[in-house]
Structure 1
Amino acid sequence: MTFLWILVGLACLGLSAVVLGWLFRFPLVALTRGELRRAMRGAPLMASFGMLVILIYAAVALLAPVLAPYAEREVIGAQYLPWGEGHLLGTDNLGRDMLTRLIYGARNTVGIALATTALAFSIGALLGLWAAAVGGWVDTVLSRIVDALMAIPALIFSLLLLTIFGTSIINMILVIAAIDSTRVFRLSRSVAQGIVVMDYIEAARLRGETMWRLITREILPNAMAPLVAEFGLRFCFVFLMISSLSFLGLGIKPPTADWGSMVRENATLISYGDITPLLPAGAIALLTVAVNFVVDWQLHRASGLKD
């Protein structure tokens, strides 16, 4: 019977996602023009739902001080208070409002993940495009260094480096960005190698274009579609990595609100049938799924395939 109720719940969630995606498509089409409008009109319902979820998360992160009923670190009552009128989702292990912590967690966890992904892409994409454009010993040396780094499991490598250099937010961003940039390097180099052999690249070389202009004006625009899709995937991996490190106690440090550490701090409630610790875990899962819906759509568009 429990399994049947789980199936019914999943079916209801799927139907709700389809309906919300269908409803959100109308304002998307109405507010866009030209090629973007045609793309939005042809977007799958799951991609529209993904964009809606991403928009909601972004709004919550930006408006956290306005939406949160209490201050991020304010203790409002006893530990593990049940859901009630004064604290809609109860309190955590220190008596802080769980709803407030969830809202601020969107700003902290998602914001740090976005900054880390942007840094990883800036490093990995530029080095990958440069290695493909220059070739020779530069390409060989960079590729072998990246191969060596990728041979080490990312989570274990992150734990090792954070243990050595400390677990501040800056160190965490730098460590995860450095590790994740190796994956971006491999993709950008692979894509660029198929571009640098084109005739227009040779023509640009003959015109005397500098390497920087060759990369930014000729190679990068033609490699943008797969890189944009990879950015979404990398964001998901970085987001999950930060949450995992926080759950293990080496990520975002208390009292800063973070979804990964919130699961660890309140995990004891699961033993009593309280689903409160599952709320930050669900927030992590929902954003990851939403981003993947949008990325799948972008990959489909970049491939040139038709439905």
Structure 2
Amino acid sequence: MHAALHEIRKIPPTALFGMLVITLYIIVAVFAPILAPYGESEIVAYEFEPWSSEYWLGTDSLGRDMATRMIYGARNTIGIALITTLLAFFIGCVAAFLSATLQGWVDQVISRAVDVVISIPTLIFALLLLTILGTSVYSLIGVIALIYSTFVFRIARAVAMGIVVMDYVEAARIRGEGLWWVMSREILPNAAPPLVAEFGLRFCFVFLTISGLSFLGLGIQPPAADWGSMVRENASLITFGDLTPLIPASAIGLLTVAVNFIVDWMLHKASGLKD
């Protein structure tokens, strides 16, 4: 118990704030059906009702409860961003470890393909692919994961290149261990610290990209609640001095800041530098 308290005291206030915010978001996302006063797409009143004890954040352009939409938006936006980031890391890390382990023509082919994808602006490429493939959730996850797996590839390959030359990797090869063993048991555990920090950063980029696409109408589609589309749907209220559209925008910004606080702390710990 004392050891745990001692470790908590060593965590900087910014990282503790980030953990608190992320924990709150996770609770809201997991228990959305219990916390939300109405159904996700239920029309409960006239459009653009003001804030009241019945409708905490008013209603949107269709008369749906904004507080309910915000709660379900946490589940949809964060959940899809997390799944997309996990898929991007799986694709990127497997390709990177294959490239670093096999090298030769395999490394050249994968690296040049990644260079081509990275050379295209992310948002433009995503808009192009989603226009061709459609705007279903599966298309959204697949397209964004594919695009961001290229960034993961570059980081993971750089880390793996420094690991594959180590003696313990060579010893595993001499023992006759297979390719998958070397990648999963020798490279991955030693590449984990920088990749964990990169996961946090990449999650922020994926989260912001999905929110941006939703704002443009090509992300998470109605009637599913999403913070990016909620900003677009209620943007006209700003001209009347109503700050409701800033609430989902602030939720997006707060989560991004919280994740970055934790990533900064993790990078500082991994660097071995003292405060």
**Unaligned ranges ≥5, structure 1:** 1-29
For residue 203 of structure 1, report the CA deviation from its aligned partner.
Answer: 1.0
2:99 pairs with 1:131: yes
Deviations 1:229-258 (A, max 9, x none): 000001000000000000000001111100
For residue 205 of structure 1, report the CA deviation from its aligned partner.
Answer: 1.1
Q: Tell me how far apart the structure 1 counterparts of residues 191 and 9 of structure 2 sit (CA, whole Å).
A: 25
- What is the aligned length? 275
Amino acid at match of 2:181: R
Deviations 1:134-158 (A, max 9, x none): 1111011100000010000010000
> What is the TM-score normalised by the length of structure 1?
0.88
- 2:84 corresponds in structure 1 to 116
Deviations 1:189-215 (A, max 9, x none): 000001111111111111111110001
- 1:4 corresponds in structure 2 to none
Percent identity, aligned pairs only? Answer: 65
Q: Larger relative contact order (C-alpha < 8 A, sep ≥ 6)?
A: 2
Q: Displaced runs of 4+ in structure 1, greater than 2 A?
A: 36-41
Deviations 1:61-113 (A, max 9, x none): 00000100101011111110100111011000000000000000000000000
For residue 38 of structure 1, report the CA deviation from its aligned partner.
Answer: 5.2
- 2:23 corresponds in structure 1 to 55
2:63 pairs with 1:89: no
Q: Tell me how far apart the structure 2 counterparts of residues 73 and 147 of structure 1 sit (CA, whole Å).
A: 42
Q: Tell me how far apart the structure 1 counterparts of residues 193 and 187 of structure 2 sit (CA, whole Å).
A: 12
Equivalent runs, 1:137-216 vs 2, <5 Å:
137-216=105-184
Q: Tell me how far apart the structure 2 counterparts of residues 56 and 85 of structure 1 sit (CA, whole Å).
A: 23
Amino acid at match of 1:116: T
Amino acid at match of 1:46: T
Q: Tell me how far apart the structure 1 counterparts of residues 161 and 126 of structure 2 sit (CA, whole Å).
A: 30
- 1:255 corresponds in structure 2 to 223
Equivalent runs, 1:257-296 vs 2, <5 Å:
257-296=225-264
Q: Tell me how far apart the structure 2 counterparts of residues 107 and 37 of structure 1 sit (CA, whole Å).
A: 31
- 2:196 corresponds in structure 1 to 228
Amino acid at match of 2:113: I
**Unaligned ranges ≥5, structure 2:** none
For residue 39 of structure 1, report the CA deviation from its aligned partner.
Answer: 4.2
Specify which of 64, 68, 75 is matched with residue 100 of structure 1: 68
Deviations 1:169-227 (A, max 9, x none): 10000000000000000000000001111111111111111110001101100000000
Amino acid at match of 1:89: L
Query: Which segment drifts farther, 199-208 or 168-177?
Result: 199-208
SS at match of 1:41: helix
Q: Tell me how far apart the structure 2 counterparts of residues 168 and 230 of structure 1 sit (CA, whole Å).
A: 27
